[in-house]
A = this chain, B = another copy of it.
Amino acid sequence: MSVPVEGVVKGDRADPSGRDRVRINDVAPRDGLQIEPVFVPTADKIALVDALSHAGYAKIEVTSFTSPKAIPALADAEAVMNGIERVAGVEYVVLVPNLRGMERAALCAPDEMNLVMSVSETHNRANLRMGREASFAQLADIVRALRGTAIRANVSLSTSFGCPMEGEVPEGEVFAWVSRFAGLGVAGISLCDTTGMASPAQVARMTARFLREHPGIMLTLHFHNTRGMGLANIVAAVQAGARRFDASLGGLGGCPYAPGATGNVCSEEVVHMLELMDFDTGVDLDLALAASARLPGLLGHDVPSQLLKAGPVTRLHPVPEGVVNVG
């Protein structure tokens, strides 16, 4: 996108290397669709992933190899993975809950498997039906099985910034889990603000600590906009050095513990803001918005994206007649 505001562009747009690269992992096909009451037809899921690929997202979380009984919305995981176009430079991620899921997923040759557990014991039991130690053991088996293969392991630590049931999650506990997974040799770790409890000062502090203590592990931040702080937390994280974010097209997703609340940060809004801040996301905003505009038809409801309604700052409006309000 072009940037109309004087002075915001510090790098040379013609030379992407002049700007810092930020990698967005669009999780809408998995994290967004999994809680939708409608089953999105496989062909539409494939079209969504392909649209994200062609828009230039660095990474896409395509689907989940969870039991189809647990998440019927994603029961077509194999068909989706085998149907999508693999665009060069884009990384395709799948969520995997256990060894059985890993074996199913491996046949589809993802670039990365994303493993999930919660830092909060209560949330882990509510969400995964087992304690954290049992989850760790299960995920550790997957990480070991992936060693030496072409498939990277990433661990997403849910409730890293607070638990909707326990409240505060001590930072020391988050980093204790980070260290245990680091010890297993995972390629990446995502600190996930599962229910939108993170706030900017906290995000800045935890991001800086992670980068200082684990410079060899790819850090991803995963924020929800539940309390309006989603993009504010992205600003805090990127200032502290984070360069990888989860986000969801249209702002799809959400959380069963915050009814009526919006979900993941909206990926087109993250792209729009970061490009205005002179970061290079690699995403063509017009293509992302076009893909987002197809979501309401697919899902039968409006999506949280503000940008879809208002358009990017570059989209000018005609001078209206009869306007009298001020301010």
Contact = CB atoms under 8 A, between A and B. Distances in A.
A10 to B, nearest CB: 8
Given A165-B317, A168-B6, A269 B227 contact: yes
A199 interface: yes
A134 to B, nearest CB: 14
Contacts of A166: 316
Given A199-B5, A273-B200, A313-B197, A327 B158 contact: yes
A40 interface: no
A232 to B, nearest CB: 4
Interface in A157-176: 158, 161-162, 164-168, 170-172
Interface string A50-90: 00000000000000101000110000000000000000000
Contacts of A128: 326
Interface stretch (A146-154, A293-301, A303-311): A303-311
Contact of A66 (B225, B229, B326): B326
Interface in A125-143: 125-129
A228 B8 contact: no
Nearest to A163: B316
Contact of A7 (B27, B171, B256, B272): B171
Contacts of A225: 228, 306
Given A30-B327, A34-B325, A230-B228, A167 B314 contact: yes
Nearest to A128: B326
B326 A227 contact: no
A276 interface: yes
Nearest to A256: B323
Interface in A96-136: 97, 116, 122, 125-129
A324 interface: yes
Interface residues on A, range: 35 or more
Contacts of A188: none
A95 interface: yes
Contact of A202 (B8, B35, B262): B8
A82 to B, nearest CB: 22
A232 B223 CA distance: 13
Contact of A197 (B5, B232, B259): B5
Contacts of A316: 164-167
A277 interface: yes
A97 to B, nearest CB: 6
B309 A260 contact: yes
A320 B164 CA distance: 11
- Nearest 10 CB-CB pairings of A with B: A199-B276, A4-B168, A231-B232, A228-B269, A261-B310, A260-B309, A201-B277, A228-B306, A197-B313, A232-B232
9 contacts: A125-B319, A127-B323, A200-B276, A201-B277, A227-B310, A228-B273, A258-B311, A260-B309, A260-B310
